[in-house]
Structures are given as C-alpha cells and as structure tokens.
Chains A and B, each alone.
Chain A
C-alpha cells in the first residue's frame, strides 16, 4: 500500500532531470520528503535503515509533471470533477502538481476562494494543487481582481480561464498592475466574435461536415494584440493555448524582441488533428479547435525548438449531459490529466519529439514560470518524482480512468508507455500493479 515517509531508493533507473540536462543510469534517493541525490551507486554505498528499495530495472525516473492548465469542478461542479478525483487521475498520469483554473462556481476571484481551494486540496487531494486566480472579477472581463492579495493567498498566476478579455484597456491595465507584483498573466486567446458560431477548425473538413468553422485568425488576432500590449507595459504574459503556425510567427517575433512572453500548447493539439473528429465525435470538440495536420506538425516543431515552452493537459471534464449531443451543441473540452504523458510518449515513439523535450515542457518549464519548487530532481528539491515504463503497450479503456468524466479523445486508443509510480513529497501516491 501507499507507504508513509520511509526513505525511498529508486535504483537502477534511467534518470532524466531536464532542469540540468541530466540523463544518467543510476539511483535516486528520497528522504524526508526531499530528493537527497541522484547518481550512480547510491544503493551500493548503503542507504538509511528502513529505506524502500525499488529496483527500477532501467525504467525512467523523472520529475513529477506540473500541469499548467486543468479545469476542475470544485467548487460548484463536483459532479464533474472534484479536487480529490482530479488528483487521483493526476497521480495515475504522473502529474504531481495540478494548476487549477478559476472557471468555477463561484469563480476563484477572491482570496477566500483561493484559500478554500488550497485547504480543500490539502484535505482531499493526493497531489499538489495550486490555483490560478481570475484576472477579472467574476471572469467578467471588466474589473481587475485583487492581484496582490490573491497572489499572497497562493494564486500562482492570473487568467480568465477559458474566457478571453475582449477589452484591450482592461488587459493593458492588468498587465501593468500585475507587473508590480511580478505576477504572470495567462490568457486564452480567442476572439469571441470571430469564433462566432464556429465549432471546429475552418476549412475543407468543416465544409464537408456542414459545421461552421473557427478561423485561425480568431486566435492570432488576440495574441497579436496582447503581445503589443506586453511591449507597451513590459508585463509578464503567457499564452494559455496556442494551436497554429500563424500564432507561432507572432510569438517568435515577440520573443526575438525580448518580451517577457511564453506559451503553452495542449497535448491534444500536439497529438491530434481535425480529422480525428471523424463522424462528429464530440470528445474531440475543443476550444480552441483541433487544427489541420500541418499546424499540428508546426506545434510539435515549435516545442522541439523551444519556441513553445509548456505542454499542458487542458483537462476539462464533461459528462454525458454536455457531450452526448449533436456536435455543435456539445460542450468543448477533453480530460487529459491521466493521458497527457502517454499521449506525449506517442510522439516520442513516432520519432517526432525527444523525450527530454517533452518532460521539460511538462515539468521544469511550467514550474519555473509559476515559481514552484518542483519540476527538478536537484538535491533538496521536493520529492515529486515519477517512474515511467516508456515501452509497455496497452489499450486505453475509459472505464479504467480515474477521472469522474470519461470524455477522453484517446478512447480505445493503443498506447505505449505508462506511469509505474508517482511520488509526491516523498510519499508514493500511485503505483501501477
């Protein structure tokens, strides 16, 4: 069963620490909730009494993943997902830190709600949970929230979640004000009016299905506006979910200009494209929508060359009532906490992506951006560690997923690789048996 805080020795592992470009075969010792060291021959030299020695037999050891964008139903929609159920899913997927989004009911837009989420997570969740707070009150896009107090209460960044702040003046002031607190603003870049009634990527496939399209410009227009505001304000900005080559060009320019700008891509936009929608599969309805294959490839390349910083799950539990509907009427979103890593491993096995790049974008980079101490295996860091078998093949059965909702786009998909063990703060919280 899940051991209490005995020291743990992960022996004979391939240890990858993207925070310092480490890739060795050796042992990793964990004690008192922190990482002691990672090197060859710790086991042979002797470990403290009572240490659980785990022979990893060459399997992979890496920092626990930090998922920068997950929508959890608590408070307000616990029937879809609670912090507890999300954390179970996370642990099974190798995610040791969930960054939950403020689109809850009520929204996480005041310090008391931040405090509620943190306490609720402490009491019920088996992985770390940090909330992003709303950027505007009630996610209304008009008045900025108490950025200073919220940050002090534990909010790690500021975002309106799935909503886009339409008013450029509001965005300008928020960027300016947040700068004084060193706060990061994370923004979903989709122009509501350009999206209109669109429900999937604009193009041939939408035309065939008789669905209204969402142009890529809906994303790029907002991103471009935001980056000009970042130039104006010198704020810290992170694009929450970009999906296409046009956005990459805009991002490239901003980074070349030295702006304090970073970006995420969701695992869905790396691993899937619009053709996967097939006959109106609502589990593949996303916001922003899945794009064409050439854009997917561009996103993978941008991750490889470091233009895109973070890969997140975009975990968004939706139940039968919101998904078993005609495509245009179904809610967007897919669960992903539990499948983010294995879906990423697909790209590794296909030769599209280096595993170190993937792990960095799922752990080290988001931890750095959010100022969290995880995402590394350096001595003294919190012992948030995962053991991965990157090779084992399996078939994804939605019924076995821990999330309360089963809206996975990888329904019945063949996977290769899975998480064998997840350690949070030195405790094993998940073990695959």
Chain B
C-alpha cells in the first residue's frame, strides 16, 4: 500500500456527528490513522501523549458497555483524562433537560465530549450548545459513525479494499443507527450495499438511500462479500414487528446454511452485543468466517484515530 504521511491527518471540523458530510478523503484519513493505532495497541507500550492535558467526558444517556469502554480506553491510551458519566433516565426525570446537562458540562471545560443518546438528533442538538468537540457515539436510529468506521477498517484489513464489495446488512434496519452510518460510509467508498430484512423492519423510503433491498436471506446474501448482522433491538420493539424470535431466527437468523448463500469465505460481522440464537447462530458467530472479535479491536483503534484527528483541530493544539 502506498503510504501518505498519515500521522499529519487532521479532521478539520469541530465535531464528528455522523458519516454524513464526511468526505472520502476524511474517511480514508481516519482509516489510515487507525491502522497506526492498531499496531500501537498490539505493543506493550500503548501510551501516547497526544491528548495529554485534555479532558474527555463520555456522556452516555443510554447504557453501553462496549462503546463506552472502547472510547474510555482510546482516550486513556492517548493520554487524556477520561471521565465517564452515565446519565440515568431517573436523573432526566428529575427535570434536568438535555440542554441543562450541556450547560453544566460546558462549565467544566471539557475538550472532547463523547455522547450517546436514545433520540435521533440529540447529539447534534447538544453540540450546538457546547464549546468543545463532540463525538457522536450513537444517537437514536440516526448515526453511529465510529461503528461504521471500525466496520470499514475491519473489512479493508481483510479484503484490502472497500470499493466494489457487496455488503449485505441484515436485520432491524428501521431502528438501526449502525445500518444508516454504514450505508453512508460504504456508498461513499464505492461499495454496494444491500439491506435484508422482513418488510416491517425496513423503513419506508430506504431504497432512496442508495441501497438494494431484499426480503429473504437467499436473495439477500447472494454474491455478498460481507454479511453484517444487526442486533434485533428487542427493547425498542414497541409494536409487533415480527411474530416471534423463533420465526425470526428461522427466516433471518444467520446460520451456516444461510451463510452458504453468500460468497465462499464471506466475512461475518456483528456490531454487538449479539443475541445468539436470535439473529446469529453461535456456530457462525464463533466460526472461521467471523471477524466479530476483530471488530472490537478495530473499535479502539478507530476511536483513537477520531480522538487524535479531532484534537489536532482543537484550539491551542
């Protein structure tokens, strides 16, 4: 691979609120920078000082183990002071609004705020009231940009490219921010995206987002280079979107038989946490084609890249 001077890559924007609006060059810059951190993270000495003196607050309005710890580790490895704030629903019920929280936090002079919120657009709203950099760690069913970046990095490391690959995203598209960010990123990088789900889990108008639509796994996985499974968000199922978990697994759960519809050796991915036996069979999740554990590793590297690239654009950097 031809290597540009990656370490000088700066994300010339204050926030990372979504994949939407990122240029191809910015995406590539982040992925290349993340590659460096993959190497760093495999060393014994993982520490860098690029965020030394900086304060990073992880503000999670929605519980998350994986993403929060990944961001925490990423910040710490870059030398930032990292604080985790889990804002429980009860605190919000006491009457403090999102904006109040923003104003309070702003007074503490953080440099970078990592935010997850259960409502689409909430992170953007928060960012508009803050002086620091804001990273979207997932807002409702809207975007989850670092997930899409880590997915892209995982695919690229295994296939050496993104362009021209066919990626099948399967499952609860309606409620999935992972799906939206991945669709945007993969389209931007010249991959083909196909969404596969029962019609109740496909938002009306999804085909206008530049994806192919399939409603069964045989058709959906045909020729796929990558099979990306989504968690079936049980807790968000207010309506009866699917009749039962077992019917869902029967038609849409990824087992070895359905995986065989895809290209031989197709990558199996899942953003986690997995519902084994609901959307994915253990044999596949732990099988030879699975890169699910690698995704977690890439997560830390990508988040370090985002933190580093954004911090280079901070005042007094």
Binding site for B on A (CB under 8 A): 196-197, 202-213, 215, 279-280, 321, 324-329
Contact = CB atoms under 8 A, between A and B. Distances in A.
Contact of A328 (B124, B140, B206, B238): B140
Nearest to A199: B120
Contacts of B238: 196-197
A157 B105 CA distance: 50
Given A325-B98, A326-B120, A207 B143 contact: no
Interface residues of B, number: 26
A280 B139 CA distance: 12
Interface of B: 97-99, 117, 119-122, 124-125, 139-143, 174, 177, 180, 203-206, 208-209, 238-239
A324 B205 contact: no
Given A211-B141, A327-B119, A206 B124 contact: no
Nearest to B92: A329
A210 B140 contact: yes
Contact of A280 (B125, B141, B208): B125
Nearest to A281: B121
B142 A210 contact: yes
B78 to A, nearest CB: 29
A204 B209 CA distance: 7
A207 B204 contact: yes
Contact of B203 (A207, A279, A324): A207
B154 to A, nearest CB: 23
A280 B205 contact: no
A280 B117 CA distance: 15
B120 A207 contact: no
Contact of A209 (B99, B142, B208, B239): B142
Contacts of A328: 119-121, 140
Contacts of A204: 205, 208-209
A205 B206 CA distance: 9
B142 A325 contact: no
B258 to A, nearest CB: 26
A212 B172 CA distance: 13
Contact of A203 (B117, B119, B205): B205
A426 B226 CA distance: 75
Contacts of A210: 120-121, 139-143, 177, 180
A203 B120 contact: no
Nearest to B121: A280
B98 A326 contact: yes
Nearest to A197: B238
Nearest to B207: A204
A283 to B, nearest CB: 13
A279 B121 contact: yes
